[in-house]
């Protein structure tokens, strides 16, 4: 009986089933941040870039707005010469494109006298996002699920892009939630504050939260910043208030996420927005 079972198992497992090296929580797609488990001690790489592998074997990766169709995943188990190789298929997304004509040139290009300030502030934000906190407790909060920093109608989505007078603007990388000025904004998960600025040129009141291993959240256009750099936060902690500071057309929260040098869609990590 055992021999029969072994023979049966050998046949089943010898089939070249589209071998997946890792079972991810969801399928790879543009803007997605996904995770799966490998044998602890394994090495994992994506397009030749080493990924983190937690002590329990959890590994994670993300794809930018314009990620190509495929990526090469390689898993090498500890003490094993054989590698598992897989070509990940990354689902493409269709992004909203809007064309706006007749825009005065001065609103398309920032005023020259502000360029130094804009450059300085961009460096500040990049430095905050580049802080690398090796904190398994923070990243595991992502796997447990984020909560919305604020609830309300979604008024802008990840990836959308406007063309002004035929010139492409920067794609919108955040999810916008419309809410009145003064509405409370909360941490979507455990995090450490790496930037807390009351008034940046583009983004106004801005907070960057670190979720560990180069995964971060940014919150833009805040009327009040109620945290400071170094604060340790739990999910649901109040961080600021909604506003229309910086270059915003009306009060809303703009929530963005980065992993390494990729822009991630926060909406894919949050539950469905509750109906009012
Ligand atoms: Zn926005």
Q: Hey, what domains does the chain have and what are their CATH numbers?
A: 2-89 (2.60.40), 97-269 (2.70.70.10)
Q: What is the 3-state secondary structure (H, E, C) of 171-218?
A: CCCCEEEECCCCCEEECCCCEEEEEEEEEECCCEEEEEEECCCCEEEE
| Angle at the Cα of 135 from the Cα atoms of 133 and 139, rounded to 5 degrees | 105
Q: Return the higher-pLDDT residue of 11 and 176.
A: 176
pLDDT score of 52 more than 60: yes
Dist. CA 26 → ligand 1 center (Å): 26
What is the band of 66 on the pLDDT scale with cuts at 50, 70, 90?
very high
Contacts for 15 with CB less than 8 Å, ≥ 6 apart: none
Give the mean model confidence (pLDDT) for residues 139-164. 95
Dist. CA 242 → ligand 1 center (Å): 12
**What pTM value is reported for the model?**
0.89
| Angle at the Cα of 89 from the Cα atoms of 87 and 69, rounded to 5 degrees | 105
Q: What pLDDT, on the 0 to 100 scale, is given for residue 157?
A: 96
| Closest C-alpha to 215, from 128, 139, 136 | 139
pLDDT score of 51 more than 70: yes
Rg of the chain in Å (alpha carbons): 22
Dist. CA 172 → ligand 1 center (Å): 6
Dist. CA 91 → ligand 1 center (Å): 24
Dist. CA 253 → ligand 1 center (Å): 7
In 10 A of CB 274, how many CB atoms?
8
Average pLDDT, the chain: 91
Dist. CA 156 → ligand 1 center (Å): 6
Dist. CA 235 → ligand 1 center (Å): 22
Dist. CA 254 → ligand 1 center (Å): 4
| Angle at the Cα of 103 from the Cα atoms of 247 and 125, rounded to 5 degrees | 25
CA dist 22 and 276 (Å) reads 38
Dist. CA 116 → ligand 1 center (Å): 23
pLDDT score of 82 more than 60: yes
pLDDT score of 17 more than 60: no
Give the mean model confidence (pLDDT) for residues 69-74. 96
Contacts for 276 with CB less than 8 Å, ≥ 6 apart: 151, 152, 153
What is the band of 15 on the pLDDT scale with cuts at 50, 70, 90?
very low
Dist. CA 212 → ligand 1 center (Å): 24
């Amino acid at each position: 009986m055992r021999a029969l079972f072994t023979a049966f198992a050998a046949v089943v497992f010898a089939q070249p089933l589209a071998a997946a090296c890792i079972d991810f929580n969801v399928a790879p797609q543009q803007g997605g941040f996904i995770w799966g488990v490998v044998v602890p001690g394994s090495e994992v790489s994506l397009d030749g870039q080493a990924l983190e592998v937690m002590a329990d074997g959890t590994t994670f990766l993300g794809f930018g707005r314009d990620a190509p169709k495929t990526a090469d995943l390689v898993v090498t188990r500890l003490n094993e010469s054989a590698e598992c190789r897989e070509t990940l298929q990354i689902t493409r997304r269709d992004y909203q494109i809007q064309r706006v004509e007749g825009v005065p040139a001065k609103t398309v290009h920032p005023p020259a006298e502000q360029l130094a300030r804009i450059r300085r502030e961009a460096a500040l934000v990049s430095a905050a996002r580049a802080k690398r906190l090796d904190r398994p407790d923070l990243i595991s909060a992502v796997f447990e699920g984020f909560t919305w920093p604020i609830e309300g109608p979604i008024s802008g989505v990840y990836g959308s892009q406007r063309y002004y007078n035929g010139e492409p603007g920067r794609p919108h990388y955040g999810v916008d939630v419309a809410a009145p000025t003064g509405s409370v904004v909360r941490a979507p998960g455990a995090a450490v504050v790496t930037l807390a600025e009351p008034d940046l040129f583009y983004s106004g009141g801005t907070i960057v939260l670190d979720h560990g291993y180069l995964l971060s959240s940014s919150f833009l256009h805040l009327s009040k910043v109620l945290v400071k750099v170094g604060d340790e936060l739990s999910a649901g902690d109040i961080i600021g208030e909604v506003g229309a500071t910086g270059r915003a057309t009306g009060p809303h929260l703009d929530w963005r996420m980065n992993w390494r040098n990729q822009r991630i869609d926060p909406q894919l990590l949050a539950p469905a927005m509750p109906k009012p």
